[in-house]
Structures are given as C-alpha cells and as structure tokens.
Amino acid sequence: MNWDWGAVRDFMPHFWDGLLVTLQALALGSVISFALGLVWALLMRTPTRWVRWPVGVVTEFIRNTPLLVQLFFLFYVLPEWNITFSALTTGVVAIGLHYSTYTMQVYRAGIEGVPAGQWEAATALNLPLRRTWTAVILPQAIRRVVPALGNYVISMLKDTPMLMAITVLEMLGEARLYSQEHFQFTEPLTVIGVAFILISCPASLLLRALERRLVR
C-alpha cells in the first residue's frame, strides 16, 4: 500500500468543512440533550401520575429505539406531515432527543444523591419550592453529574457519523464523498479516524481530571 500525501492535502479542505459540521451537530445536540434531559428528570419527580406515566413511556421508547431509526423517521416521515427541517437540523434534533433520555437518568441519579438533610434544611428555612430547586438541589446535583454528562458528549461525537445517512456531510460524509469521487479510500478515512482520536482522547482525560476535582 502506497501512502499518497497529495491525496491528504487535497482532502483537507473537505475535512475542515466536515469537522465544522460535526462540531456544530455535537454542540447543538449536547445543548438539547442537557436541557431536555433536565426537563424529563424534573417531570419524572412530579407527584402527578398522569405526568410521570406519559413521560416514562416516551423516554423509554426513545431510549430503546436505535438512533438511526429515529433519524430516518424525522427526515423521511415528518415531511409527509408537512413538517420539514434541513438535514443538519434534523440530525441535531435527533441526537439531542435521543441522548436526552440518557442524560435524564444522570440528572435523576444526581438529584437522588443530594442528602436528605438538604431538603430538610430548605423546608426548615421555609424556602419556596422553586427556590429550593434552583438554589439548593440543582446546583449540588449538577455538580455531581458533570463528568457523566461529559461522557455522553463523547458518545454523541462518535455517533455523529450516523448523520451521513440523512445526507449531512460531517467528517465521515466528506471522506466518503471524496473517496467515491477520487477512488482513494485509505487517506481520507485514516484522517477521519485520527481526528476522532485526537478529539475524544483529550476530552476523556479532561473529564477524568474534572471528576477528580469535583469529588474532592
């Protein structure tokens, strides 16, 4: 096998375009998953069964359905109902929605890990329920779960190549398109593999350091 540095040089502009799309999908998908996951977690703690039950059914269905199926459903089925988004928007929504059902469990674990004494102290101080959540419970719960949330960011990064299935040209999509046009597969796919390693490995080390810092 001969390594062609010229092919690497020619592919790099496509790589940077794909990297930008990948990072956009990752950032926006993470925001959706973190925000919606917290909403799911709070709704699951409501005393009303008619709120908890539908939320539980919906989140279980999403969590136990493959992300690829959800991508196809949002991209191909919703337009039949006159609901149309761009391919990238569809991918971002699908990733954020899918992973929100996992971050929900992380938030729930963090909330349940807050000592009972904190709830009792808030009650003794006669704090309103909203103040109890925003000033006492959530700051402690979120601090506990930041490393776990970060792990899901890495998982979302590794799932972004699935967006290629709905025509989004992220990193792997750009590599595939370049390879098909130039009949050179080794160089672009190797560049993509190295790029994922260079992003995910430092991120993992950063999360470990953050976890050690937060558990002190």
86-115 pLDDT, tens per residue? 999 999 999 999 999 999 999 999 998 888
- Two structure tokens written together for 117: 């004494």
Greater model confidence, 208 or 54: 54
Q: Tens digits of per-residue pLDDT, 113-149?
A: 888 888 888 888 888 888 888 888 888 888 888 888 9
Q: Rounded to the nearest 5°, which phi and psi values hold at 97? A: -65, -45
Instruction: Give the per-residue SS3 of the chain.
Output: CCCCHHHHHHHHHHHHHHHHHHHHHHHHHHHHHHHHHHHHHHHCCCCCHHHHHHHHHHHHHHHCCCHHHHHHHHHHHHHHHCCCCCHHHHHHHHHHHHHHHHHHHHHHHHHHCCCHHHHHHHHHCCCCHHHHHHHHHHHHHHHHHHHHHHHHHHHHHHHHHHHHHHCCCCHHHHHHHHHHHHCCCHHHHHHHHHHHHHHHHHHHHHHHHHHHHHCC
pTM: 0.91
Task: Provide the pLDDT for residue 214.
Answer: 65
Nearest Cα to Cα of residue 91 among 148, 172, 13, 185: 172
Query: What pLDDT, in 10s, does the model give residues 25-83?
Result: 999 999 999 999 999 999 998 888 898 999 999 999 999 999 999 999 999 999 999 99
* Model pLDDT for residues 158-207, shown as the tens digit of each residue: 999 999 999 999 999 999 999 999 898 999 999 999 999 999 988 888 88
